[in-house]
Amino acid sequence: LQQKNDLDLAEEAYFDLVDQKTASLMAASTEIGALVGQLGPERSARFRSFGESLGRAYQVTDDLFDYLGDPDEIGKGVRTDLPEGKVTLPLIRALAAAGPRDRATLREIAGRRSVLEADDWRTLLVLLEKTGAIEYCREKAKALAVESIALLHAEPASPWRESLEKAVAYAVQRIH
């Protein structure tokens, strides 16, 4: 709530929020699974790290889908974050990469949040593309997914590891 409507939110602060929310939930879930399975402290810590990376990848993808997603494909509503005052990585990156005129346009549109029209969304999408924010977010999610998979590869091959690898793929593709 402290960062709500904060168009000056830095990427580091964004990831701090993600770590406190989605990433910590997934980290706890995967660590608890390892603890219940009595896998030992080293493997439990690895599963915690896996969950953190997975949670970050999931959240970046979710934030990108909020701008680009088709509700029928991803199984949830879109274009809700900005009207709710949530400043997410696509907008953070676009604001950081935009020139002065485009930055002013982004800030003006984002500042109107709840009264955004279809033309506003089209302009936002053009600027997200122009600034490279869309590709940046895709690459960031992909890198986090690769990090997650690398942690899993320290585990023996098994149907469980394969299921977790599929969960990572789902996290960054999320087609319903």
What is the residue-level pLDDT of the chain in tens, covering all 176 positions?
556 778 889 999 999 999 999 999 999 999 999 999 999 999 999 999 999 999 999 999 999 998 887 766 766 767 888 888 889 999 999 999 999 999 999 999 998 877 788 899 999 999 999 999 999 999 999 999 999 999 999 999 999 999 999 999 988 886 43
Contacts 24+ apart (CB under 8 A), 38-44: 43/155
| pLDDT, position 35 | 94
Q: What phi-psi label fits residue 142: left (phi over 0), alpha (psi between -120 and 50 degrees) or beta?
A: alpha
Instruction: Note the pLDDT tens digit of each residue in 97-114.
Output: 999 999 999 999 998 877
pTM of the model: 0.89
26 Cβ contact partners less than 8 Å away, ≥ 6 residues apart: 51, 52, 54, 55, 58
